[in-house]
Amino acid sequence: MKKASVLNSLIVVVSILLAISLGATLMVWLSPDLNPNDPNGNDDPDVETSIVVNSHTLYESEDLAFRFILADVTFKSSQSQQVSIENFVTSQQINLSEIDVYLEDLLALDIDLNDEKHDIDFDFSTTTDEIDLRLFIPLRVNDSETLTLFFQGENEVSVLFDLSTNQGDLETLKGDDDSSNNQFIEEFVEDDLYAIKVVTISEIAFTNITETLADGSTQEMVLPSTARVIGVLVEVQALGQEAVIIEGARFNIPSDNQTSDAFNQTVEVESFDNLFNVPVITAASGFIFFDVYVPTQDIINGVTEFEFKLNVSDQWITVQVDQQ
């Protein structure tokens, strides 16, 4: 009886061990293979991402408080991912989606990088595995000979720019001398009082215009859908001891029999300086804004007429500009 009891116990133990072994084998066999090619069981293999610099040019000038690069780059990835301007940040902590202040300073030098001829990608967002981009990359003035540009997306990658080579001529970015290419510079000077120059005229996308009310609060300024906001970049110099102030301005379109008064100092167009009613002690540049109602840009690009009223003169100054 004792032998039979021991034998029965051995049979039970062996059966239990066989059941455990069989169960473990079935669990392994029935478990899904998340990645048969990855012995470590990772969900996805690494995504390979890179930025290739095809060409770049560095620009600097004593008239600018910053340097900047115009770069042609190619973004590549082993799988499609979201690529937008907000993803690009420099080692100097400049996000390429926040560069309006730099473009404004360049406008004061008659350089409009928003012009189609420069073909710069200022605003883009797409899902792709490869895209060619032309980027405007500002730099603060420093002695560094390199700059790193980071892509902060699904994968962070970077590319290094050599700042010791590929120097460009800032003058080549300015408009052509041919008046048919929107090059019109009208300057009026009254000795010992003032000088005022119209530098550029352009339509502005007015996505954010605010107005300060009498009680100090601000509100969005809503314009009709048919309105076009025109920004006139002017340079003003005070040649005497009295500050010069633009107290009034009018935009006349003779071909459309239309006149528009300038936005006053209570109106702010995001990313642009309103020079209306601002005292100019020595020299300054800024915009005078108008809203006009014309069906096409062609009418604005014809013969236009501006009138300015300065505090140092009793007479209105008339400037006729032919952009054709």
218-239 pLDDT, tens digit each: 999 888 888 888 888 888 999 9
Average pLDDT score, the chain: 80
Contact 260, 250 (CB under 8 A): yes
Residue 151 has pLDDT above 90, yes or no: yes
pLDDT band at residue 290 using 50, 70 and 90 as cut-offs: very high
Task: Find tokens 């478990």 and name the residue.
Answer: 31
| Residue closest to 149 by CA, chosen among 73, 209, 211 | 73
| 183/79: higher pLDDT | 79
> 90 has which bridge partners?
149
Arithmetic mean of pLDDT, 60-81: 89
Residue 181 has pLDDT above 50, yes or no: no
Arithmetic mean of pLDDT, 89-101: 92
pLDDT band at residue 160 using 50, 70 and 90 as cut-offs: very high
Residue 173 has pLDDT above 60, yes or no: yes
d(C-alpha 297, C-alpha 324), whole Å: 12
185: CB partners within 8 A, 6+ apart = 110, 197, 198, 199
Minimum mean pLDDT range among 37-46, 194-203, 273-282: 37-46
Given strand 228-238, what is the order of strands in its sheet? 186-190, 194-204, 228-238, 283-292
d(C-alpha 113, C-alpha 183), whole Å: 15
pLDDT band at residue 32 using 50, 70 and 90 as cut-offs: very low
d(C-alpha 258, C-alpha 294), whole Å: 9
Residue 114 has pLDDT above 80, yes or no: yes
pLDDT band at residue 6 using 50, 70 and 90 as cut-offs: low
> 235 has which bridge partners?
197, 285
Looking at this protein, which amino acid is placed at residue 262?
A
d(C-alpha 200, C-alpha 75), whole Å: 35
Contact 283, 235 (CB under 8 A): yes
Exposure string (b/e) for 244-273, b if CB count within 10 Å is 16 or more? bbbebbbbbbeeeeeebebbeeebbbeebe
pLDDT of the residue at 140: 81
Q: For the CA atoms of the chain, what is the radius of gyration?
A: 33
| 269/8: higher pLDDT | 269
| Residue closest to 135 by CA, chosen among 61, 80, 60, 57 | 57
Q: Over pLDDT 70: what percentage of the chain?
A: 77
Give the range with max mean pLDDT: 124-128, 178-182, 243-247.
243-247
Arithmetic mean of pLDDT, 249-258: 83
d(C-alpha 211, C-alpha 213), whole Å: 6
CA distances to 16, 57, 240 from 166, rounded to whole Å, are 78, 5, 43
Phi-psi region of 299 (alpha: psi -120 to 50; beta: other; left: phi over 0): alpha
